[in-house]
Chains A and B, each alone.
Chain A
């Protein structure tokens, strides 16, 4: 649905987006993950024609957003929830957007109702809390009833109530079969809603695929074993692709064997286990691992260039 092909954005000497290629599936929720300053917002701005790519392109199934006769019918976007005139009412903000496409006024009332802002519709948007502004941003994105929603950091800075609301709203929208592409610098946040992930760092693609694949590709799960005879167990579980490290006299960390396998081996060897747990890398750790590798790569790269 969304296709980025060798997308590049350069500002003077700074590269914001660097030869980025990825695809966002139609009808799925895709998380766009990266540390702050990774180029997520810039990529989204290029998608909706606000910024021009220096090279490459980002399209909606091959179509350039700027050439669409009815762009709001295809893509709803919230880049900055605070991007409203502070003295204009929420209603008039939405009305001015709706009128460009000739949407009926009752559509404005409807989206205000949908996001729960109907009671403050005539109040100036500048007086809204961040949570209310986010709702207005979502309302703006929903005006054209688009099949694609693009949201930049929709939960950033929200209180728990606001976060919960956004999460539920996005789940509802995804259930209606819409394509949702949302960015965040928090892996844990995206993992609650996204099926797919596009991970970028310093403008480059680091990983893309399903959440599960990405996490398991970063590091396999490890088993934590505490036993009476760690040395004997360490020898018994060895095999190809298995790594055993010991943290103290009784404790082993085994990579490459499941808890079930370790338990079976221990029973066969007659070794008593006090504890056997599987430790899966958390999403946040997986993310750190992915981004750390780019940082290391970056340093390494600089050294090579210097030499």
Chain B
């Protein structure tokens, strides 16, 4: 590093001739951003390590998933630990956007793509794709382990694509991208990791247990329409219809995401960076 280094050659003009902001470009940029920050990689790895670790334990142990003598035998029972991984993925979603604000790297991001919408959508798409792919691989791995271990009677010899197995595994796996998108929306809304994570735990994680104590009798049912309640319905894949069925649960989940994501997008477009 000396003071004598100066611009060595005129930049190549012809090289960049037709370059412009594209959807593919924004996706590649967000992909680079995700994998080039260690804390994000670690958070992602932690989420799946936790899921694989806890699921493996349950599958090998077998007791918790219903043994030969017990009831409550659910073929896809191991997906009950997925919400734990989802929590970590909520944090990943939060960090993916709030780390840009806290480090100031949001400035080059917004200068490079000043319309902003594309950046948010690309970030959401990359995080969703990564968690869906890793989630699917994890689920296939766990299913295979379940077949080898043979500890769950109802799952023995059951194809992954058997309706009794498939919908439960799908519902459980989709919880993972849902978590990361939910975190992204909250993080984008508050632009501060601590605030977003506190809001998630305070309102969405603990809220269903706390709120009923403060709500008037007639309104207690509201907590059934919070995301976590709907997540549980979706994971059950039709085994429970309380308080509503899977299709309603999906509508509830998408409504939350659309509302929070929409607010995040609206503010991103209008607020000063």
Contact = CB atoms under 8 A, between A and B. Distances in A.
B25 A100 contact: yes
* Count class of interface residues, chain B: 35 or more
Given A70-B19, A144-B19, A80 B105 contact: no
Contact of B26 (A100, A103, A107, A162): A100
B83 to A, nearest CB: 29
A114 B11 CA distance: 9
Interface in B88-138: 99-100, 103-115
A50 B273 contact: yes
A73 B25 contact: no
A87 interface: yes
A113 interface: yes
A70 B36 CA distance: 24
A79 B273 CA distance: 12
A15 B109 CA distance: 27
B110 A102 contact: no
Given A45-B272, A48-B111, A92 B32 contact: yes
A83 B106 CA distance: 8
B16 A145 contact: yes
Contacts of A160: 3
Contacts of B22: 101-102
Interface string B217-239: 00000000000000000000000
Nearest to B119: A100
Interface in B1-20: 1-3, 5-13, 15-16, 19-20
A102 B19 contact: yes
B205 interface: no
B59 to A, nearest CB: 36
A187 to B, nearest CB: 23
B110 A49 contact: yes
12 contacts: A49-B111, A51-B273, A73-B19, A84-B103, A84-B108, A96-B30, A103-B15, A116-B5, A160-B3, A165-B3, A168-B6, A172-B7
8 closest cross-chain pairs (CB), A and B: A83-B104, A92-B36, A116-B5, A70-B20, A161-B3, A99-B29, A49-B114, A51-B272
